[in-house]
Amino acid sequence: MIFKNKFFENSITPNLTSSNNSEYSNSMRKLACVLVFTVGALSCNSQYALVINNDAFVVIDGGVSATPVYLVIDESDGLGITTSGTGGNIISEGEFNKVQWNIGTNVDSYTIPFTSNNGSSDQKIPLSIETTGSAIGGNGRLRLSTWETADGNLSGTWPTDVTHLNTAASGSSNGLNVVDRFWIVDADNYTTKPSALLGFTYNDNNEIAGSNLINAGNESTLVGQSFDAATNTWRGNTSGTAVYYGSWTGARTVSGASVSDGDFFASWTLSLNSLLLPIDLIDFTVDCINKQKVIKWSTKSEINNDQFIIQMSPDGIEFENIAVIMGAGNSSFQNDYEYVDLSEYENITYYRLLQVDFDGSESYSNIAAADPCDGNLSSLTINTSNNNVIDISYDALNASKYQVQIIDARGRLLVEPTVFQSQKGINKHTIPIHHIDFGIYYIIIQNETERNFKKIVLYENH
């Protein structure tokens, strides 16, 4: 890590350099006082903060995955990094060249005066974080970095937890609709992360236009998106819980990105909201109601959504179209859809949605399995919203004994099978799940003559 004045580089004392995985911590600053950067000079004051004056530069460099480099700020309030005069600059330009700000549970506004590193095309690209409470963990900290990617966002320049820039995990690439920059905004070492408002600034000399599709005409539609590694999705696609975060506020900035503890993911970029995956699918299920297969789905919001094509398969591999349902186009509120498949199938069948955008772009939902609707149970619902339990309810034609299993995507049993005795009519049962991590699982309810199969989603705060 090198501290230097970009214009008078030789005048800065060269021994303020840290090796990989080292921390320029508050304990060192107690000896060296505050580093106050002025044009052509380096001086100290008796404060515990980093003050950068008159466009001096702090360059954090050399970090790699195994040995990151940190600039550590021990002052927990927003004055831990201060700029004065004509401003200051911190250059990260790498995922593992990080500012670590030890803020604990403090509620304040924090600004990191990042600057891009493009020679004559340098621009100030400050990152802002306003914590809004709820944090638990006095040793909590923010770990922050940013870097420009290759033109078109080639895969070698993504954050390490990002596996794709597609409209869905197996969908088409969305890299040309994303600015050529990533940010790491990691709330680390917390029992409960803080909620926060984030603001991102990018370099419009290098990080829009080029080979991508962002230009002065659509730049104002840029919004924030974060990557959820647990579900392998960008927030905003079919598995996300929010279409996007914040909005473009001018001056190369997207601000007002509101995140809670449960969606405070580390890896961020900025995308055109007109070219996000068009729908935010909340749920897709197939239920037997009155001896008929009822296909239901809901969208939290829709962007440029033309239509849904319902597809059916006898084996889960080869699908055929059975119905077309028109989408809502553009919508920022929940839409509920339903279709009744009157066809009779002797064996288990599989369904999925093919969503089609106005420009012809396509994406698929998850696959839902359904048994023949001639069993004893109907109106089967699974509720996972209660803390640490799953609530099961159904209408039984006759009294019967059922075994309930919960499995993961690999078919591994997560809890010991539970046996319930159902009575004729409405039944309700509860299964404790306090030891199961959040994620996607499957619940199987069966007896000697029928088998019911449901997907369930457990969220991080279940």
pLDDT value at residue 327: 86
DSSP state of 11: G
pLDDT value at residue 426: 86
Task: Tell me which of 260, 275, 290 is where a domain ends.
Answer: 275
* 295 and 443 belong to one structural domain: no
* 165 and 40 belong to one structural domain: yes
pLDDT value at residue 191: 93
* 209 and 299 belong to one structural domain: no
Residue 418: strand pairing partners: 404
pLDDT value at residue 59: 93
* 226 and 160 belong to one structural domain: yes
pLDDT value at residue 236: 55
- In a 3-state reduction of DSSP, which class is residue 32? helix
* 167 and 271 belong to one structural domain: yes
- In a 3-state reduction of DSSP, which class is residue 104? coil
Task: Tell me which of 223, 253, 275 is where a domain ends.
Answer: 275
* 20 and 163 belong to one structural domain: yes
**Tens digit of pLDDT per residue, the chain (462 long)?**
444 433 333 222 222 333 333 343 333 332 233 333 333 223 333 345 899 998 899 999 999 999 999 999 999 999 999 998 888 999 999 999 999 999 999 999 999 999 998 777 889 999 999 998 789 988 999 999 999 987 766 667 899 998 888 765 555 567 778 899 999 999 999 999 999 999 999 998 888 877 777 877 778 888 898 988 887 888 754 434 445 688 888 889 999 888 888 889 999 999 887 544 445 677 788 877 777 788 988 887 777 788 899 998 887 677 889 999 998 887 767 888 999 888 777 677 888 888 887 777 777 776 777 777 766 666 677 777 666 778 888 777 778 888 888 876 556 677 778 888 888 888 888 888 766 766 667 788 777 666 677 777 665 554
pLDDT value at residue 46: 34
pLDDT value at residue 39: 31
Q: Which H or E element spans position 454?
A: strand 451-458
For the chain, what is the domain count? 3
* 387 and 309 belong to one structural domain: no
Q: Report DSSP letters for 222-284, one per residue.
A: EEEEEEETTTTEEBTBTT-S-S-B-EE-STTEEEEEEE-GGG--SEEEEEEGGGS-SEEEEEE
Q: pTM (2 decimals)?
A: 0.55
Where would I find the beta strands (DSSP E) of 149-220?
181-188, 196-201
CA distance 262 to 228: 11
* 135 and 271 belong to one structural domain: yes
pLDDT value at residue 29: 32
pLDDT value at residue 19: 33
Q: Which H or E element spans position 82?
A: strand 81-84
pLDDT value at residue 408: 67
* 266 and 363 belong to one structural domain: no
Six token digits for residue 65: 């995955």
CA distance 246 to 230: 22
pLDDT value at residue 270: 92
Six token digits for residue 217: 């005409």
Any idea what the CATH number is for the domain that residue 366 is in?
2.60.40.10
Residue 227: strand pairing partners: 234
Residue 341: give the domain boundaries.
279-370
Q: Which residues contact 360 (CB under 8 A, 6 or more apart)?
A: none
pLDDT value at residue 173: 67
How many CB atoms sit inside 10 A of residue 261's CB?
18
Residue 320: strand pairing partners: 312
Six token digits for residue 315: 């084996």
> For 299-367, where are the alpha helices, taking DSSP H only?
none
| Contact of 245 with 259, CB cutoff 8 Å | yes
pLDDT value at residue 42: 30
* 99 and 16 belong to one structural domain: yes
Any idea what the CATH number is for the domain that residue 417 is in?
2.60.40.3080
- In a 3-state reduction of DSSP, which class is residue 119? helix
Task: Tell me which of 215, 250, 275 is where a domain ends.
Answer: 275
* 61 and 75 belong to one structural domain: yes
Vertex 194: Cα angle to 188 and 195 (nearest 5) = 130
* 250 and 338 belong to one structural domain: no
How many CB atoms sit inside 10 A of residue 199's CB?
19
